[in-house]
Amino acid sequence: MANNKLELTWLGKDKPIKVEPRLLIENPKLSNIPANTNQNTDGSCDNLLIHGDNLIALKSLESKYAGKVKCIYIDPPYNTGSAFEHYDDNLEHSIWLSLMKPRIEILKKLLTDDGIIFVQIDDNEVAYLTVLMDEVFGRTNRINTIVVNMSNLSGVKINAAILGKRFPKIKEYILIYSKNKDRYTLKIPKISKSKWDSEYNLIIPELTIEEYEAIKEFGLENFKEKFEQYSLLSLNDFLKNNKIEISDEWKSENSFRIVASKPNKALLNIAKSLTFTSAMTILKTSQGLHKIVKTDFNRNTKTARIEIVFARDNNEVFLGDHWSDIVTTGGIGQEGGGDFPNGKKPEKLIQRIIKTSTAKGDIILDSFLGSGTTCAVAHKMGRKWIGIELGNHAYTHAKKRLDAIIDGTDLTGVTKAENWTGGGGYRFYELAPTLIKIDSFGQAVINSEYNADMLAAAVALHEGYNYEPDQILFWKQAKNGESSYLLTTTRHLDRAFVDSIASQMTENEFLVISCKSFDALVSNLHKNIAIKKIPQSLLKNCEFDKENYNLNIINPPVCEGDEEDE
């Protein structure tokens, strides 16, 4: 076999995308740099919020940030075939893979040698994506496939099960890869684990609707006689007595929860005659752990029941690869403000990812930023961050969320857990337009929107030079290494101009001049000066005038033969 490499193959894989690296243009009106924000010596800010196609933006970041990003979390469109409010998520597998591969390749380049990438995905593409990640990162760099609970058994999921069509789907996957398996480390957290005694299961069945409503409205005092033998407390009293903060997940007008203060003989007698199974929530108390379940109200029979379990003892274990302890429903839609209920990931989930893989000051990157959760959590945790988002919600959601974090008005998510009170800043960038356009005669020309400085910076980016204009020698406009320079100019080059520059150069210096036109005689005048004509010299490098490589395509192109096959 000519090629014995194990890889995933799909239609169009052999036609790689040549992405144009664009300039990132700061929009000062949208940047948020408070006066007391720590800035770099060059006046820049570490945090970047970028609006634009993430493939183009990642290519633009490559020259400056290659090998500098410690942790990447992405939550790409899941290719489910459903059209969401903010994401039109309907792509044929080959197109999805063709657009994901170059993104993953650049993301790998951006990682530090000890960096880690987390990719969250669901059932639709997890198998394909795993093989693709194996191919790009190497199978030996696959760390884990995490299963994380992302919803409850309710609604349409239950309807599908009732109809016998599928098991209800409540989980997603997080693929974790290292750039170098010999360099990375993970800080695996410990979580509390209780040993539950089934003798202490308690169900109080068949509350009438009158009793149920009275409990909701007046509490247990009016039914003291009925419940006295069970030593029951209202949830509020229980939390207050044990100094437990009431979190958003417990606030609900549709349910009333109570817990037992302690097990007793009456509880044991009832528990021995009853059995049940249910998903439960754990609260930590000074005496150990108690499992608590909300009342289930049956509107048909007009009855309700209360389920309680006691923890006998408690111990800590390392967190495994099934993350069932992070609450992903309830108040998640309200985290950070803004109406983005179906697209947000819980801040606690991102907090765990960042805690296990980074330290303060490390750079975190999310190139599918959405409502801004990753950057929001990174900011609260004292990490540097880069967020990229194509959609308009870069302005309407992510920016507003980050502004609230900076001014200290965001009290949601992990704000309290991280003791965040405000501060920091970011710069808002937008992608420059394409450098080369096709005119009305079909000729490639420099985009008229580029001024001389933008043109010089853009050509430097294309040629792999750092745009650093020298304050004395104008021809030292961009630099690569110690003695290699690039000059981009719109003037016509003649012998006098080139000779003038050559007279200022030392023997070990080399210069490339990119220009629109030049005399034929000057191209080989000096061995240490090379001359290129733009835009012709750039056309082979990449494709231009491509505004996005959007993964969110509603109607993918039909491959030849599809209609006939159908």
CATH code, domain carrying 71: 3.40.50.150
- What is the rounded CA–CA span in Å between residue 505 and residue 528? 9
Q: Are residues 184 and 40 in the same domain?
A: yes
- What is the rounded CA–CA span in Å between residue 260 and residue 310? 8
**Reduced 3-state DSSP string for 305-339:** EEEEEEEEEEEEEECCCEECCCCCCCCHHHCCCCC
pLDDT digits (tens), the chain, 566 positions: 455 667 888 888 888 889 999 999 999 999 998 776 665 544 457 899 999 999 999 999 998 999 999 999 999 887 655 434 455 555 577 888 888 999 999 999 999 999 999 999 988 889 999 999 999 999 999 999 999 988 766 655 566 666 677 787 888 999 999 999 999 999 998 876 644 333 333 334 344 455 445 444 444 444 444 444 444 444 455 456 655 454 444 333 333 333 444 444 443 443 333 333 232 333 334 344 444 433 444 445 444 444 444 444 445 678 899 998 876 555 666 675 666 555 678 999 999 999 999 999 999 999 999 889 999 999 999 999 999 998 888 999 999 999 999 999 999 889 999 999 999 999 999 999 999 998 888 888 999 999 999 999 999 999 999 999 999 999 999 999 899 999 999 889 999 999 999 999 998 999 999 999 999 888 888 999 999 999 988 988 888 888 777 764 333 333 333 333 32
Per-residue confidence (pLDDT) for residue 98, from 0 to 100: 87
Per-residue confidence (pLDDT) for residue 146, from 0 to 100: 96
Pick from 282, 316, 350: which residue ends a domain? 316
Q: Are residues 76 and 218 in the same domain?
A: no
Per-residue confidence (pLDDT) for residue 519, from 0 to 100: 92
In this structure, is residue 148 part of a structural domain?
Answer: no
Structure token pair of residue 425: 């800043």
Q: Are residues 478 and 511 in the same domain?
A: yes
Name the DSSP letter for residue 268.
Answer: H
N-terminal to C-terminal alpha carbon distance within the chain: 34
**Residue in the structure block whose two tokens are 């949830």:** 235
Q: Are residues 345 and 408 in the same domain?
A: yes
Q: Are residues 535 and 471 in the same domain?
A: yes
Domain, as residue range, for 378 = 27-141+177-188+332-431
Per-residue confidence (pLDDT) for residue 86, from 0 to 100: 53
- What is the rounded CA–CA span in Å between residue 346 and residue 414? 9
Q: For residue 237, what is the enclosing H or E element? A: helix 235-241
DSSP strand pairing (48-51 vs 384-389): parallel
> Quick one: how far is CA 258 from the chain centroid?
37
Q: Decide if 84 contacts 40 (C-beta within 8 A).
A: no
Q: Are residues 206 and 294 in the same domain?
A: yes
Pick from 409, 431, 453: which residue ends a domain? 431
Within 435-542, residue ranges assigned H as helices are 452-463, 495-502, 536-539
- What is the rounded CA–CA span in Å between residue 97 and residue 125? 9
In this structure, is residue 561 part of a structural domain?
Answer: no
Q: Are residues 502 and 522 in the same domain?
A: yes
- What is the rounded CA–CA span in Å between residue 179 and residue 175? 13
Within 319-425, residue ranges assigned H as helices are 347-357, 373-380, 393, 400-406
In this structure, is residue 295 part of a structural domain?
Answer: yes
By residue count, the chain amounts to 566
In this structure, is residue 341 part of a structural domain?
Answer: yes
In this structure, is residue 564 part of a structural domain?
Answer: no
Q: Are residues 200 and 292 in the same domain?
A: yes
Q: Are residues 201 and 218 in the same domain?
A: yes
- What is the rounded CA–CA span in Å between residue 223 and residue 362? 56
452 contact partners, CB below 8 Å, separation of at least 6: 489, 490
Q: Are residues 183 and 246 in the same domain?
A: no
232 Ramachandran zone, left/alpha/beta (phi>0; psi -120 to 50): beta
Nearest to 328 by CA among 473, 152, 456: 152
SS3 252: coil
456 Ramachandran zone, left/alpha/beta (phi>0; psi -120 to 50): alpha
In this structure, is residue 122 part of a structural domain?
Answer: yes
Q: Decide if 426 contacts 49 (C-beta within 8 A).
A: yes
Pick from 290, 316, 342: which residue ends a domain? 316
Q: Decide if 70 contacts 364 (C-beta within 8 A).
A: yes
Long-range interactions of 244-251: CB distance < 8 A, separation 24+ = 244/283, 244/284, 244/285, 247/331, 248/330, 248/331, 248/334, 249/281, 249/327, 249/329, 249/330, 249/331, 251/331
Q: Which residues sit opposite 426 in a β-bridge?
A: 32
368 contact partners, CB below 8 Å, separation of at least 6: 54, 74, 75, 76, 77, 388, 389
Per-residue confidence (pLDDT) for residue 92, from 0 to 100: 72
Per-residue confidence (pLDDT) for residue 485, from 0 to 100: 97
- What is the rounded CA–CA span in Å between residue 355 and residue 360? 9
- What is the rounded CA–CA span in Å between residue 353 and residue 146? 11
Per-residue confidence (pLDDT) for residue 81, from 0 to 100: 53
In this structure, is residue 355 part of a structural domain?
Answer: yes
Nearest to 405 by CA among 28, 40, 43, 49: 49
* Helices then strands, each counted (H, E), the chain: 16, 27
- What is the rounded CA–CA span in Å between residue 133 and residue 289? 40
Q: Are residues 338 and 396 in the same domain?
A: yes
SS3 560: coil
- What is the rounded CA–CA span in Å between residue 156 and residue 163? 11
Q: Are residues 419 and 447 in the same domain?
A: no
What CATH number does the domain containing 489 carry? 3.40.1350
In this structure, is residue 172 part of a structural domain?
Answer: no
Per-residue confidence (pLDDT) for residue 218, from 0 to 100: 41
User: Which string of b and e fits 352-375 if b means at least 16 CB within 10 Å?
Assistant: bbbebbbeeebbbbbbbbbbbbbb
Name the domain count of the chain.
3
